[in-house]
């Protein structure tokens, strides 16, 4: 369904809103993949976003909300509807509490907390994406995740703004209630950090950043790890016995281990390739498509299922299509 002209005009008339028709979503995803949006809407304030969302919901057209697009696979055909993005980026502190708007870059928040001498986010340095997406997917690295520091999340239900504490957010490994309720849009988050030496925090972050840079160069068109790691305690005994102790981290079995066993490294589908040095890293070599990416993801899931009886789960989200469930 093409978005009606009166709806486009209505969206364009909202203060602090930028509207473009036919914007290529490949320019707004880290994979560099995706066809055009019917209408692409960027709102620079909560009020503007709330009004744009209200108009979109009443338009009869399909609509979707995105962040920085770092964990997003968009259909080659694009999204025939309205794509909304909140771009408000304010970050501020009160004592050891930091408040960040959802549109802020996660790296900007990490750098701000380090510069302010506040501990709790330094291990997340180098993770691309927005603050809202980090809360949505409970982002983390090196044994820590953002839920450990969340005090409150403000979100838009479509009719009102509400706030949840960490328990109500139902955080789990790479999960939150906001993944279950995609109609609840995160607006901002308050984080409880702890005072520390800024120099020490920066040293920790710099060491982590060097490691991430070697794995995920900023020019690489990828989403980082494509599959979630697996909770060791939830795996069948027969599978646990096959996993070497050396690869287990924080009670999790890396998906990369299982992928390596099924020959994932270096696999390719058209312009999409698995890194030859990391079995859980899939990237676009430059001219890859969403179809090729999904074909490769599906093949990897099928191989792991056939050899281990495990169903890997993607960290990435899909827009404009639902990939064929795997394994078949």
Active site residues: 174, 225, 315
Over the chain, what HEC string results? CCCCHHHHHHHHCCCCEEEEECCEHHHHCCCCCCCEEEEEEEECCHHHHHHHHHHHHCCCCCEEEECCCCCEEECCCCEEEEEEEECCCCEEEECCEEEEECCCEHHHHHHHHHHCCEECCHHHCCCCCEHHHHHHCCCEECCEEHHHCEEEEEEECCCCEEEECHHHHCCECCECHHHHCCCCEEEEEEEECEECCHHHHHHHHHHHHHHHHHHCCCCCEEEEECECCEEHHHCCHHHHCCCCHHHCECCEECHHHHHHHCCCCCCEECCEEECCCCCCEEEECCCCCHHHHHHHHHHHHHHHHHHHCCCCCECCEEECCCCCCCCC
∠ CA 216-221-227, nearest 5°, is 70
Strand partners, 175: 172
Rounded to the nearest 10 degrees, the angle between the axes of helix 198-215 and helix 106-115 is: 150
Residue 104 token pair: 């802020």
């Amino acid at each position: 369904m093409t978005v009606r002209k009166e709806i486009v005009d209505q969206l364009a008339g909202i203060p602090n809103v930028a509207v473009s028709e036919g914007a290529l979503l490949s320019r707004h995803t880290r994979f560099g993949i995706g066809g055009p949006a019917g209408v692409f809407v960027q709102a620079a304030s909560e009020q503007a976003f709330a009004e744009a969302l209200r108009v979109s919901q009443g338009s009869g057209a399909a609509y979707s909300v995105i962040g920085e697009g770092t964990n997003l696979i968009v259909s080659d055909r694009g999204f025939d509807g309205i794509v909304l993005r909140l771009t408000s980026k304010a970050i501020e502190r009160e004592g050891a509490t930091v408040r960040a708007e959802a549109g802020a870059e996660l790296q900007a928040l990490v750098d701000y907390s380090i510069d302010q001498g506040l501990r709790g986010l330094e291990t997340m340095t180098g993770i691309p994406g927005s603050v809202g997406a980090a809360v949505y997917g409970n982002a983390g690295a090196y044994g820590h995740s953002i839920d450990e520091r969340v005090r409150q999340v403000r979100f838009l239900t479509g009719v009102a703004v509400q706030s949840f504490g960490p328990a109500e957010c139902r955080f789990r490994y790479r999960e939150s209630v906001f993944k279950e309720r995609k109609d609840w849009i995160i607006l901002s988050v308050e984080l409880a950090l702890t005072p520390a030496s800024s120099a020490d925090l920066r040293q920790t972050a710099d060491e982590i950043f060097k490691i991430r840079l070697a794995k995920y160069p900023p020019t690489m068109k990828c989403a980082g790890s494509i599959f979630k790691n697996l909770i060791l305690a939830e795996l069948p005994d027969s599978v646990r016995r096959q996993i070497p102790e050396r690869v287990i981290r924080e009670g999790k079995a890396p998906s990369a281990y299982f992928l390596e066993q099924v020959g994932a490294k270096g696999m390719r589908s058209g312009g999409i390739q698995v890194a030859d040095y990391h079995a859980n890293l899939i990237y676009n070599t430059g001219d890859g498509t969403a179809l090729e990416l999904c074909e490769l993801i599906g093949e990897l899931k099928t191989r792991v299922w056939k050899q281990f009886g495990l169903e890997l789960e993607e960290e990435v989200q899909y827009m404009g299509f639902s990939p064929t469930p795997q394994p078949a």
